[in-house]
Structure 1
Amino acid sequence: MALEIGSETHGDFRVLKLDGRLDTETSADFELAAHDLTAAGERRFIVDLSGISYVSSAGLRVLLSLAKQMSSGGGELRLCGLAPSVRQVFDLSGFSKLFTIASDVNSALGEKSGGSTAAPSPEVSKAAANLLGATSSSQQPAGSPQVGRQAADLLGARQAAAKPGLFARLFAWLKGN
């Protein structure tokens, strides 16, 4: 299914209205459209996702990459209109913490810059982008283990439960458990 991208200006913001699916096949179209607009000098975006029925990790990567580009270049990215299924993807992946998200375009236009939650440090944002593959390996910061853990926490990662060692599993098997 093709991705339709509508564009209009509201004050200082370029509103991009997406319709369809934001997935592996279509995310490149959105990335190219956003790149063209930023190359033309646009720095403040609202991405209206009310017409998006599905978003994949490739779509999330493009949104994160655009947000990173905007924050490092003095711009701003706001999202709005997330369908319940799309909002669930954002919540489960931790992306709800990374973006200013409003219910609709008018609400997004009225939001204060930066949203209602404190933004993560640039180091944590970069580490989160690296975890999602939104940056090339040459751009990956060394970072401390603490920064990596904070980035994983930001993305909603959960620490795996410790597995019993080989001998403990063998002993449990021998006991019949």
Structure 2
Amino acid sequence: MDIKTERRDGILTFAIRGRLDGYGAGQLADAVEASLQADDRSVVFDLAGMSYLSSAGIRILIATKKRLKERGGTLALAGIQDYPKSVLDMAGVTPIFSLYPDLEVAVAACRRSKDSLSVINDLVRAPVVRDGVAYTVEPASTRSSSLLVTGDLDKMLHARLTESDIRAIPFSALPYSLGLGALGENVADALPLLGEMITLHGSVVWLPTDGNATPDFFTPVKDAGKPCIYTGYNVTLYGPFHEIITIDAGDEGGIALSDIYRTIFDFARERKRDFSGVVALAMWAVVDGVCSLGVKRSPIAASSPANGLPINAEENAKEWLEENDEPKYRGETMVSFGFGIDYSACSGEHLSALTDRNRPKTQQLQLHNHGVIFRGVPWDASLDLTRQIERIVTGAEFVDMRHLKDNTRIRRAKVGVAYISEIAV
């Protein structure tokens, strides 16, 4: 059997030629698993070239239909021939499928269904469209939010951390946070493994600097105080999100993380928001490509650069930082947390606790974001952001965790935005 996979007008299609028997059913199941992305709602099976169908093939059709139904979508069968159609009839399952005469009609029907869902959502909350990207903004809270900074950014960047700089923090104290951390029996155990870290509702994901480039994670059922999180630098959000923004950048290309921040800062200026020039974002997204950056070695005093320059200086970057501009995980789910600084709107005390003093003076934005990649999570913009993040981090299939570069691209997202009024150290 031969399977050709492509997208037509944003709808995933599979053209099947030959016999959909026991062996072919396995091939089709693998093809669906490899191609179905988090924001796919509907699929078309083009059966014009399928000559044979058995119960094994029918099981795959039914399993795919059930999977799509959970997403509020559908499976369309196009161009089915007489013999396979008679097999469906004899099995008594023809009525459960949507049958269309050819591929074009099936794609158009799925497209109409997709557009109808968008219209319903648009009627509830009218989106703002900028540069082809739709932003739907919902107010959330009016209470103030702050960032608490633990540790010394300059010491971290110059690899001068010692045991006395490490803080032990209980899981429950870090609802949304990111920084440099590790898990271990004690400080001495954790210190040489300090790496990129993110916490999300009591779950911690971190990238140990042991040379294996493999993230680790832990979700406690309850916080008993031990084990705890050891951190050399951490930024934690305290307070609510002021807005929930749903972003739709379409099916192709997505929008850069930096452009999302620029738009949010533009919204803040237009609404005359009273804040320090800093925003914190928690995001549930479908990515169009993750580009990453991260420390390869724990920035401890015993291994600080001999030239006295920070680890992100050009002379030291290759030795200390792992950088990947090759986009990964297209169509997968990401949960992230981070913050952005707009230097044109900056005010407030302690901004230096977040600021890399070696940044180029012409740099308007400084972003710091970590993201966790998950698989098998359908996209549904109607779901509550906080509850969905909790469900994902405790139950979804974990794939990877990385420090996000600003050119990471987002296809769709639901974003909690906190306008920061205070930075505490």
Structure 1 length-normalised TM:
0.58
Gap runs ≥5 in structure 1: 116-177
Q: Distance in 1 between matches of 2:9 and 2:54?
A: 30
| 2:40 partner SS | coil
Name the structure 1 match of 2:89: 91
47-56 or 69-78, which deviates more: 69-78
Distance apart, 1:43 and its partner CA? 2.8
Could you tell me whether the CA contact under 8 Å between 2:12 and 2:36 is conserved in 1? no
Q: Which protein shows a greater Rg?
A: 2
Give the AA of the match of 1:19: R
- Once residues 18 and 46 of structure 1 are traced to their aligned partners in structure 2, the CA distance between those partners, rounded to angstroms, is 11
Which stretches of structure 1, 4 residues or longer, exceed 4 Å deviation after superposition?
112-115
Greater fraction helix: 1
Supply the AA of the counterpart residue of 2:24. T
* C-alpha separation in 1, matches of 2:49 and 2:65: 20
Match of 2:23, SS state, is: coil
Q: CA deviation at 1:52?
A: 0.7
1:10 to 1:39, Cα distance in 2 relative to 1, 3 A: closer
Residue type of the alignment partner of 1:96: T
Aligned to 1:105: 103
Q: Which has the higher strand share?
A: 2
Deviates most, 94-103 or 32-41: 32-41
Looking at structure 2, the residues matched to 94 and 62 of structure 1 have their Cα atoms a distance apart, in angstroms, of 15
Equivalent in the alignment of 1:43: 41
| Residues in 2 aligned to 1:39 and 1:33: alpha-carbon distance in whole angstroms | 12
Does structure 1 conserve the Cα–Cα contact (< 8 Å) formed by 2:22 and 2:54?
yes
Q: What is the one-letter code of the residue matched to 1:88?
A: S
Deviations 1:49-108 (A, max 9, x none): 111110000000000000000001223210011111111111221221011000101121
- Specify the SS of the correspondent of 1:16: strand
Whether the 8 Å CA contact 1:49–1:82 is kept in 2: the answer is yes
Match of 1:7 among 5, 8, 20: 5
Q: Summarize the Cα distance change of 1:40–1:20 in structure 2 as closer, same or farther, 3 Å threshold.
A: farther
For residues 85 and 25 of structure 2, the distance between their equivalents in structure 1, rounded to whole angstroms, comes to 18
Q: Are 2:47 and 2:80, in contact at CA under 8 Å, matched by a contact in 1? A: yes
Which amino acid is 2:19 matched to? R
In the alignment, what sits opposite 1:173? Answer: none
SS at 1:111 equivalent: helix
Q: Which has the higher contact order (CA 8 A, sep 6+)?
A: 2
2: distance between equivalents of 1:111 and 1:14? 13
Match of 2:27 in 1: 29
Name the CA distance, whole Å, in 2 between partners of 1:24 and 1:105. 24
CA distance in 2, matches of 1:114, 1:66: 20
Compute the displacement of 1:12 (Å): 2.8
Partner SS state of residue 14, structure 1:
strand
> Matches of 2:98 and 2:43 in 1, distance apart?
11
Per the alignment, in what secondary structure is the counterpart of residue 32 of structure 2? helix
Please report how far the alpha carbon of residue 39 of structure 1 lies from its aligned counterpart in structure 2 after TM superposition. 4.7
CA distance 1:41–1:35, shift in 2 (3 Å): farther
1:76 to 1:12, Cα distance in 2 relative to 1, 3 A: farther
- Partner of 2:29, secondary structure, is helix
Q: Deviations over 1:131-153 (max 9, x none)?
A: xxxxxxxxxxxxxxxxxxxxxxx
Instruction: Please give the residue correspondences for 1:1-177 in structure 2 after superposition, counting only pairs within 5 Å.
Output: 3-39=1-37, 41-111=39-109
Instruction: Percent identity, please.
Output: 28
Relative distance call for 1:27 and 1:49 in structure 2 (3 A) is: same
Gaps of 5+ in 2: 114-425
Verify the 8 A CA contact 1:12 1:44 in the aligned structure 2: no
